[in-house]
């Protein structure tokens, strides 16, 4: 039997949530809080019941309606209110606000502005717990609307396959914005979907805090035993609209009144009074909460706004990575010319495989996951042999579930692992764009710099195999517009190994893009361990007449073009950025100061490609050194054609690069 203090604290938290939300509603109406608010009034029993059924060091993931979850998991109202006011004293320094409030010290992995966005992250948290055998569980809150998203299905399936300790708590408040559940589901109850994912489904009265608590306790016991996840559907009701601006025209006053008659706080109060609690004790809690609310508002209003330099802080973990690695005894080199030891010739594929093998040996927190990566080594055999060596806990086959793969990487990375996820083709990256761009790339910033997301997503792109428009694109430029994400595209075996090792050791999310046509290319690679820091370009060939900037497969074409031009007395300097984010503009501009002419080559479409960004940076930095306009060469502005003849001629070739240089020198 729980103690009286426990029951009273549950009442206190329900009242804290109710009064916090009512106060926020008033402040929003007075324009003292900006943005949007999604209030939790009416659903307090779910958050309080669930969070009181788990341990303080267990995790939760939350939703856009996340104030209640945050409070129930132990947050203080002053920091919460300051966050909503956009003040520096808030939980996320004002950078997350209502939709993204988080308290990592209490195990709250964050509210989420994307419907269903937190569900795959919870699976990643569950993976960490199972892999590390911590005994922790993760409670994943989401609404009925999220149960129709792809993230829901992919995440629950993966959690079921791996038997992860995750408790999926669906807060069915009958409406996804204005769409009623009966119009959005062909089934009576959402838990009917649970058996399809190999887990039990439990329906709970979401207006009864003790019923919620009991159901989550049972699910937590099951999860800690190693029996896997549970789906709990809490039938509840939000008294107000989807957001503060919602007039609730889609439901009747009679319906609202019927639900309010089952008010969770009033019901629980009556239960307490019938079980040894006095009116005086209840009144004291109510008064203490009222004072706490007043003090929270006062704290928030008196707190300062973040200084303007905070705008660009917390985007990345900013420590000197190279210096950290030197202290660990790892040799750090910027290029192959700096290596004075033994070399042997291996393929690009073998170099990547070696990098993964070395990092798996070095750090037990490194895990690999992706489609077909175990037995077959992925689409291009990069991980071949690693499953046999390190086992299925370290090298994990996944279902075809791109959103679940990346989301699992996000959740596991912020809870203690260093996952390396593989997306078979970059063309499929749209299927996981939310988890990569809205979650992984933004979490550190939205949480005020209090999170680290050390994950790598490997993928391959580029044409050359007549694969057509769904298996041959070069989409790297999409991600140059995503602060918080690093983008790496190595062209040689030496660079591939050193950069992949560095990426895995980074505390930032990294998109590591390989090219399908260079896996078999060969080059010198040391047998000893080394890394290449991200953000350092490499001069692959020195010259004086023109600077050619190219990366990935186009670097190899640019070097061929440079050799052709050299036969004509034209000496081109060829620079490989290697990482597009961060971009080493200093090495590039140093070359431009010498040659005064620039050709930029990439395989992505010319319009909106990486060349436009690199070219503009050159214009901004060294415009006075240019003797001619910058030339960009990219693929045709068309989907990649399947015909080999058309495909080969849709991208820059060594001959076209050489001709572009000749034309530039004539100007």
Closest CA to 106 of 406, 450, 454: 450
Which structure tokens are listed for 18? 């109710």
Residues 512/456, Cβ–Cβ less than 8 Å: yes
The backbone torsions φ and ψ at residue 548, rounded to the nearest 5 degrees and listed phi first, read: -110, 125
Residues 423/429, Cβ–Cβ less than 8 Å: yes
Q: CA–CA separation, 71 vs 18, rounded Å?
A: 10
The backbone torsions φ and ψ at residue 309, rounded to the nearest 5 degrees and listed phi first, read: -65, -15
Residues 222/126, Cβ–Cβ less than 8 Å: no
Q: Answer yes or no: 371 catalytic.
A: no
Q: CA–CA separation, 523 vs 534, rounded Å?
A: 20
Degrees (nearest 5) of the Cα angle 297, 299, 302? Answer: 105
C-alpha distances (whole Å) from 389 to each of 310, 368, 383, 419, 456 are: 45, 13, 11, 17, 21
Q: How many CB atoms lie within 10 A of CB 608?
A: 15
Element (H, E) at 179: strand 179-180
Closest CA to 448 of 89, 108, 95: 95
The residue from 64, 67, 242, 471 that is catalytic is 471
Residue with tokens 């399908």: 516
Closest CA to 282 of 7, 607, 617, 558: 7
Which structure tokens are listed for 377? 């080594």
Q: CA–CA separation, 377 vs 206, rounded Å?
A: 46
Degrees (nearest 5) of the Cα angle 221, 224, 225? Answer: 85
Q: Answer yes or no: 471 catalytic.
A: yes
User: Chain centroid to CA 383: how far?
Assistant: 23
Q: How many residues does the chain have?
A: 667
Burial class (CB in 10 A: 0-12, 13-18, 19+), 599: buried
Burial class (CB in 10 A: 0-12, 13-18, 19+), 541: middle
Burial class (CB in 10 A: 0-12, 13-18, 19+), 211: middle
Q: CA–CA separation, 649 vs 305, rounded Å?
A: 55
Burial class (CB in 10 A: 0-12, 13-18, 19+), 234: buried
Q: What is the DSSP string of 503-557?
A: HHH-SS-EEEEEEGGGTT-EEEE-SS--B--TT--EEEE--SSEEEEE-THHHHH
Q: CA–CA separation, 513 vs 425, rounded Å?
A: 9
Q: CA–CA separation, 28 vs 85, rounded Å?
A: 10
The residue from 402, 476, 514, 647 that is catalytic is 402
Q: CA–CA separation, 276 vs 411, rounded Å?
A: 42
Which structure tokens are listed for 36? 């949007």
- Which residues does the annotation mark as catalytic? 402, 471
């Amino acid at each position: 039997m729980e103690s009286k203090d426990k029951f009273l604290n549950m009442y206190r938290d329900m009242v804290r949530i109710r009064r916090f939300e009512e106060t926020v509603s008033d402040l929003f109406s007075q324009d003292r809080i900006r943005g949007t608010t999604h209030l939790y009034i009416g659903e307090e029993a779910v958050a309080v019941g669930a969070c009181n059924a788990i341990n303080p060091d267990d995790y939760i993931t939350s939703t856009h309606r996340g104030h209640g979850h945050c409070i129930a998991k132990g947050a203080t109202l002053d920091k919460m209110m300051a966050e909503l006011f956009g003040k520096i004293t808030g939980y996320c320094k004002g950078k997350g606000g209502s939709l993204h409030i988080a308290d990592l010290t209490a195990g709250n992995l964050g509210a989420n502005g994307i419907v269903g966005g937190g569900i795959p992250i919870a699976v990643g948290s569950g993976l960490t717990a199972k892999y590390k055998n911590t005994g922790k569980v993760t409670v994943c809150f989401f609404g009925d609307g999220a149960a129709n998203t792809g993230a829901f299905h992919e995440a629950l399936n993966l959690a079921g396959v791996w038997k992860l300790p995750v408790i999926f708590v669906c807060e069915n408040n009958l409406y996804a914005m204005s769409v009623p559940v009966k119009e959005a589901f062909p089934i009576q109850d959402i838990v009917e979907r649970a058996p399809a994912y190999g887990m039990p489904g439990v329906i709970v009265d979401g207006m009864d805090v003790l019923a919620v608590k009991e159901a989550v306790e049972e699910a937590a016991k099951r999860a800690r035993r190693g029996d896997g996840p549970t789906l709990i559907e809490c039938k509840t009701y939000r008294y107000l609209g989807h957001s503060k601006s919602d007039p609730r025209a889609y439901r009747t006053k009679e319906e609202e009144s019927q639900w309010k008659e089952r008010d969770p706080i009033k019901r629980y109060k009556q239960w307490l009074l019938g079980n040894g609690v006095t009116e005086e004790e209840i009144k004291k809690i109510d008064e203490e909460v009222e004072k706490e609310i007043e003090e929270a508002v006062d704290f928030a209003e008196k707190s300062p706004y973040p200084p303007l330099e905070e705008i660009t802080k917390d985007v990345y973990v900013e420590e000197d990575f190279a210096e950290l690695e030197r202290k660990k005894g790892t040799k750090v080199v910027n290029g192959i010319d700096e290596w004075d030891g033994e070399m042997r010739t291996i393929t690009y594929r073998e170099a990547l495989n070696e990098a993964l093998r070395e990092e798996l040996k070095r750090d037990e927190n490194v895990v690999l996951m992706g489609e077909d990566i175990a037995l077959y080594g992925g689409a291009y055999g990069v991980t071949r042999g690693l499953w046999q060596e390190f086992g299925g806990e370290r090298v994990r086959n996944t279902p075809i579930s791109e959103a679940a793969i990346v989301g699992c990487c996000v959740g596991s990375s912020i809870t203690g692992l260093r996952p390396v996820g593989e997306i078979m083709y970059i063309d499929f990256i749209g299927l996981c764009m939310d988890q990569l761009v809205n979650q992984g790339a933004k979490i550190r910033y939205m949480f005020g710099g209090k999170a680290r997301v050390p994950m790598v997503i490997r993928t391959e792109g580029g044409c050359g195999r007549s694969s057509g428009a769904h298996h041959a694109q070069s989409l790297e430029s999409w991600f140059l517009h995503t602060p918080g994400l690093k983008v790496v595209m190595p062209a040689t075996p030496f660079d591939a190994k050193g950069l992949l090792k560095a990426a895995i050791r980074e505390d930032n999310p990294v998109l590591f893009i390989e090219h399908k046509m260079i896996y078999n290319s060969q080059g010198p690679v040391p047998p000893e361990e080394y890394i290449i820091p991200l953000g350092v370009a490499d001069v692959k060939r020195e010259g004086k007449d023109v600077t050619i900037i190219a990366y990935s497969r186009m670097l190899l074409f640019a070097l061929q073009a440079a050799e052709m031009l050299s036969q004509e007395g034209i000496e081109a300097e060829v620079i490989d950025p290697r990482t597009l984010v961060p971009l080493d503009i200093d090495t590039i501009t140093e070359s431009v100061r010498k040659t005064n002419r620039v050709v930029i080559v990439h395989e992505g479409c010319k319009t909106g490609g990486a060349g436009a960004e690199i070219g503009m940076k050159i214009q901004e930095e060294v415009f006075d050194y240019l003797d001619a306009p910058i030339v960009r060469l990219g693929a045709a502005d068309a989907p990649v054609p399947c015909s080999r003849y058309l495909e080969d001629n849709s991208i820059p070739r060594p001959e076209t690069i050489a001709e572009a240089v000749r034309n530039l020198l004539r100007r």
